[in-house]
Amino acid sequence: MSYFAFFSMEFAFDKGIPNYAGGLGVLSADLMFSAADLAMDVVGVSLLYYGDRNFKPEEFMNKLEASVSIEIE
């Protein structure tokens, strides 16, 4: 069984998630939606910017028990 991680700076999943500005986000989200339609084991990895203090990630996402740690210098 293979698992995939798709790293992108932005995903245009919903207008309420403030992490995309245009074409790349739309393309990234389309790729993830297609992977879901094909029942692929894939996870999208991106950054969330908290510039908008009214944004509440828990309204759009569910926290999973699995976790990944990445060390950034």
Q: Is the pLDDT of residue 12 over 70?
A: yes
Mean pLDDT of the 1-25 span = 84
Q: Is the pLDDT of residue 52 over 80?
A: no
More confident residue, 50 or 33: 33
Q: Is the pLDDT of residue 51 over 70?
A: no
Per-residue pLDDT, 1: 65
Q: CA dist 55 to 4, 22, 29, 38, Å?
A: 28, 19, 19, 30
Nearest 5°: phi and psi at 35? -60, -40
